[in-house]
Structure 1
Amino acid sequence: MNAILGILVTVGMVFGGYMLAGGHMDIITHALPFEGMMIGGAAIGALLAANDFGTIKQTGADVLAAFTGSKWKKSDYQDLLCLMSELLNVLRNNPVDIEQHIEDPEQSSIFQRYPKILKDEDAINMICDTIRSMLMNFDNVHQVEELLEKHLESLHEDKLAGSHALQTMADALPALGIVAAVLGVIKTMSSIDKPPEVLGGMIGGALVGTFLGVFLAYGLVGPFASRVKAIRTEEHFFYSMIGEMLVSNLHKNPVNICVEVARRHAPARVRPSFNEIEEALRGLKQAA
């Protein structure tokens, strides 16, 4: 919603101010398709040339995420805490039983209760790989913390690839606008024998290229890159909570303390309250 509102305000204020100042839209509307084709086409071509298919696909998903917001909602953070609580209780009570859950999560009765988390490969791999390491007596807290830290850093960097690609595009757009403007000037110079009113229109059309490049860079693509970065950074807390809970478990804290440590690590906007988690965990015990 904010992304749509931001676009409407930006476009409305820029072009509304231009028209109120006495500007005419006919020159812009005439040149816009051609200038947009050159600038937009060059920007997309540069994006394709600079990135692999995975990054390009992720960038498309990131643009969509800028409109839809973060993937993880408050209920998902609560589900994650409940899932980890169940797994840690099984791990504490009977380590042998945990193997059937981490070796085949899709068939696990515990993971199946949380289908959205089960569909997220990054979360499942992080949970299962770390618990598997713990079962191999890899229980040195500092080593596990280091492994998780590196895992999280790598994951975060991968998630920001689309934001980096969009920011690179934003940085290039003003220069591409100049390229389009220069081509317009070349076209104008080839028609130097035309009357002044015609040349004025042609020069105005050429300057649309400069305007469009700067406007897209700082009014749309740049803010979208920042929006995507903020969303992916917030989503990263979801994965960090997994690490917080597993490390807390290695410190031999009770499971309810592990849950509380991880809960406080969630962003305030989507953090479940203490009572909500207590009620959810109580419901799990009653269901069991």
Structure 2
Amino acid sequence: MFQIIGIVLLFALVFGSYLISGGKMDVILHAAPHELMAIGGAGVAAYLIANSMTVIKGTGPALGKIFAGPKWKPSDYRDLLALLFLLTKTMKSKGVIALESHIEKPHESSIFSRYPKIAKDHFAVDFICDTLRMMTMNLEDPHQVEDAMEKQLEKHHHEAHGPAHALTNLSDGLPALGIVAAVLGVIKTMGSITEPPAVLGGMIGGALVGTFMGVFMAYGLVGPMATRLAGIIDEDAAFYKIIQAVLVAHLHGNAAQISVEIGRGNVPSTAQPSFVELEEALSQIPNEA
């Protein structure tokens, strides 16, 4: 919502101030389609040249995140803690064998099925199951497990940042592409140097629209979007850090209740459930679960 408001204010204030000061939109509207073709087309081409297919395919969904906001809401953090509570409690009270059916086929698991949004996140499910599988294989050194989990998180975070880095690079290049479009406009103007001053003035004004649009798109649209996307990716990454905190706490020999409490302490403040809220969520889990 705020992103849409910001875009509306950006256009209203920039072009509004231009009109109030006596500027005319005729020159901009006449030149805009050609300049957009040159700058936007060159920007898209450069984006395709500079990035891998994985990043290019991820750009569309990444742009959706800018307006949708972080994937994980406060209720999802509460569900994650409840899920980890069930898994660690099962492992502690019923043993490794009872847990194997849940981590080998998580999509058929009665525990994972209680939390469908988390179950649909492939990385979260794989991250949990792979770590628990390591534990069932007698890898019980908390420091080794924490180090292995940290490397997985770093890899996932780096890959998730691909579109944000690509958009930042595009933003850095747009002002230069605007200059390229402006230079082409000047070349065109110089080819018509015999025209009267009024005509030349309009042509030079049209050429300068290219510089304006390159800078405007870079610092008013693409750059802020890239920054917002990077922030959302960082916010969502906190969700996976909770998994690491709880499972490492479990390996240190803590009870399931203590492990999830340690995890709750790592939840971002804006999404953190209170102690009472978490207690209520855990108390609502049926005994057979």
In the alignment, does 2:170 pair up with 1:169? yes
**CA distance in 2: counterparts of 1:273 and 1:233, whole angstroms:** 22
Aligned to 2:250: 249
Aligned partner letter, 2:100: E
**2:180 partner amino acid:** V
User: Is it true that 1:74 corresponds to 2:74 in the alignment?
Assistant: yes
What are the equivalent positions in structure 2 for 1:226-241 lying under 5 Å apart? 226-241=227-242
2:207 aligns with 206
Question: Is 1:216 the counterpart of 2:217 in the alignment?
Answer: yes
Q: CA deviation at 1:242?
A: 0.3
Aligned Cα RMSD in Å? 1.0
Q: Map of 1:26-105 to 2, 5 A cutoff?
A: 26-93=26-93, 94-105=95-106
Match of 2:191?
190
3-state SS in 1 of match to 2:5: helix
Distance, in Å, in 2 between the alignment partners of 1:268 and 1:9 is 30
| Separation in 1, partners of 2:288, 2:45 | 55
The amino acid of 1:63's aligned partner reads L
Aligned partners of 2:184 and 2:133: how far apart in 1?
61
Q: Give the structure-1-normalised TM-score.
A: 0.98
- Residue 212 of structure 1 aligns with an amino acid whose one-letter code is M
Counterparts in 2 of 1:12-27, with a 5 A limit? 12-27=12-27
Q: Deviations over 1:105-157 (max 9, x none)?
A: 11111111111111111101100000000011111111111111111111111
- Measure, in 1, the Cα distance between the counterparts of 2:206 and 2:279: 64
Distance 2:120 2:49 in 1: 31
- Distance apart, 1:287 and its partner CA: 6.4
- Given residue 113 of structure 2, which amino acid in structure 1 is its aligned partner? Q
Task: Give the Å deviation of 1:86.
Answer: 0.5
TM-score (norm 2): 0.98
Percent identity between the two aligned chains: 53
Q: CA deviation at 1:286?
A: 4.9
